[in-house]
Amino acid sequence: MSQEPIRKQRKDSHLSVEERQVINKYKEEYRSQTTRELRGDVFRNKIQVDMLDYWKTQGMDITDETETQNRIKVIVNTTDFDTSLLDNY
């Protein structure tokens, strides 16, 4: 019998440990960017792409635009990402 991995979340977190691991791969790169545009590029071209890939492998329906937008908003609002990244959502 296969056991599902334990998905222990941080207190008051809306993200799973696995989702945080995807985000944390880019934490230093994101923080090292000197402009909002460069941080936005890292977010859109790396973090967001990897999160969509992760959700897809977990069987989540990433074609549901509303749900996907809500999940992206959760990531931005619960991490130290610049909230102006939500301007396009």
Q: pTM of the prediction?
A: 0.69
Q: How confident is the model at residue 46 (pLDDT cuts 50, 70, 90)?
A: very high
Tell me the per-residue pLDDT of 7-35, one tens digit each, with 9 for 90 and over.
555 555 677 888 889 989 998 999 999 99
34 Cα distance to chain centroid? 20
Q: What is the DSSP letter of 9?
A: P
Please provide the DSSP assignment of 30-83 as one string: HHH--SHHHHHHHIIIIIHHHHHHHHHHTT--TT-HHHHHHHHHHHHHHSSS-G
In sequence order, which residues have a C-beta less than 8 Å from that of residue 88 and are 6 or more positions away?
none
